[in-house]
Amino acid sequence: MIVVAGESLVDVLPDDGAEPVERVGGSPLNVAVALGRLDVPCLLLTEVGEDARAAAVVETVAASGCEIVAAPSSGGRTATATARLDGSGDATYSFDLSWTLPPQELPACDLLHVGSLGTLLDPGRTSVLDLVDQAYARDVPVSYDPNLRAAFIEDPEQARGDVEALAERCRLVKLSEQDAALLHPGADPGDIARSLLEGERTELVVLTRGRYGATGYAEHLEVHVDVRRVDVVDTVGAGDAFTAALLTVLLESGALGGYGPGMPADEDTLAGLLAAANEVAALTCARRGAQPPLRAELPQHWP
């Protein structure tokens, strides 16, 4: 089982001049939902309000096949993210949220995934980092997607230090070019990915480059895979679907069992991993909002 810890919210999406459409989202929730749709046993640790949007969050997660433990938010409201799309379907967001997750006990699991605002915003950030500590103590691998948002970075130097300190305790780090630009403005994203690979427990860093594909970095390996071309509706949730696909393939291939050999050890295996994740992300881009595919909608022999 994979445990995902982080924020849940409702995306408010533009709809061609009509009333905005609301869809359940939030990066950690999207990862959990995508895992459920890929038939991976999973549990989401999150918080929601006491409103109609909270019911939508719980129903969406449950419908995917993923379990959910939802603590009540301090303000009683479920968080929202209002999306604005550019001409190519890429989204930027404005947020109305707080993150006050109380301490949690990490259930028995094969992997813990954390990231996004859940690892950035106090006071809930402390509870997520405690889950990472619990995983670290039990030798449970951790994956991490910073999924940074400029609006929540008050002190860039502090944020950079926090991200790098967490990343070095994680077996897998998934980084976007946007994350790299916020961490080290003007630096080569590839150089940043390579530096993260030097973390104490880090064995694989994956850099996503939007329409230009993804690059994987492992010991003595660097492999790039182009995207699968689709008619893009929007990119909402695509990176999260990519992450879920990575975790699915790694779990099902036995790569998460114990430290040492296990992560892709050759170019073909790493290229196959990235291609499988690109497939899931591409199908998500072909739909409005964060709507990752079901396992049955993927090619028969995926991954």
> Structural domain of residue 250, as residue ranges?
2-97+104-294
Counting beta carbons within 10 angstroms of the beta carbon of residue 52, is it exposed (0 to 12), middle (13 to 18) or buried (19 or more)?
A: exposed
Residues facing residue 47 across a β-bridge: 71
Is residue 300 in some structural domain? no
Q: How many helices (H) and strands (E) does the chain have?
A: 8, 13
Rounded to an integer, what distance in angstroms lies between the CA atom of residue 295 and that of residue 249? 12
Residue 176 contacts by C-beta under 8 Å, 6 or more apart in sequence?
147, 207, 208, 209, 210, 239
Residues facing residue 144 across a β-bridge: 114, 173
Is residue 12 in some structural domain? yes
Nearest CA to 73 out of 53, 44, 49, 95 is that of: 49
Is residue 284 in some structural domain? yes
Is residue 208 in some structural domain? yes
CA distances (Å), origin 262, targets 8, 171, 199, 252, 255: 31, 11, 17, 12, 4
The CATH number of the domain holding residue 166 is 3.40.1190.20
Is residue 43 in some structural domain? yes
Paired tokens of 215 = 């690059």
What is the side-by-side strand order in the sheet with 204-208? 67-72, 42-48, 2-5, 111-115, 142-145, 172-176, 204-208, 214-218, 221-225
The total domain count for the chain is: 1
- Locate all alpha helices (DSSP H) within the chain, ordered by sequence: 27-37, 52-64, 124-138, 156-167, 177-183, 189-196, 238-252, 267-285
Counting beta carbons within 10 angstroms of the beta carbon of residue 5, is it exposed (0 to 12), middle (13 to 18) or buried (19 or more)?
A: buried
Paired tokens of 112 = 């813990």
Backbone phi and psi for residue 134, each to the nearest 5 degrees, phi listed first: -60, -45
Answer yes or no: are the C-beta atoms of 2 and 109 closer than 8 Å. yes
- Taking residue 23's Cβ as centre, other Cβ atoms within 10 Å add up to 18
Long-range contacts of 201-204 (CB under 8 A, 24+ apart): 201/136, 201/141, 201/142, 201/168, 201/169, 201/170, 201/171, 201/259, 202/167, 202/168, 202/170, 202/171, 202/172, 202/173, 203/171, 203/172, 203/259, 203/262, 203/263, 204/171, 204/172, 204/173, 204/263, 204/264
**pLDDT tens, the chain, 303 aa long:** 999 999 999 888 776 666 788 889 899 999 999 999 999 999 999 999 999 999 999 999 999 999 999 999 888 889 888 877 676 656 677 888 889 999 999 999 999 999 999 999 999 999 999 999 999 999 999 999 999 988 888 888 999 999 999 999 999 999 999 999 999 999 999 999 999 999 889 999 999 988 889 999 998 899 999 988 777 777 778 999 999 999 999 999 888 765 444 677 789 999 999 999 999 999 988 887 778 999 999 988 898
Is residue 299 in some structural domain? no
pTM, two decimal places: 0.91
Is residue 303 in some structural domain? no
Nearest-5° Cα angle at 12, 118 to 42: 45
Answer yes or no: are the C-beta atoms of 36 and 12 closer than 8 Å. no
pLDDT at 260: 43
pLDDT at 236: 75
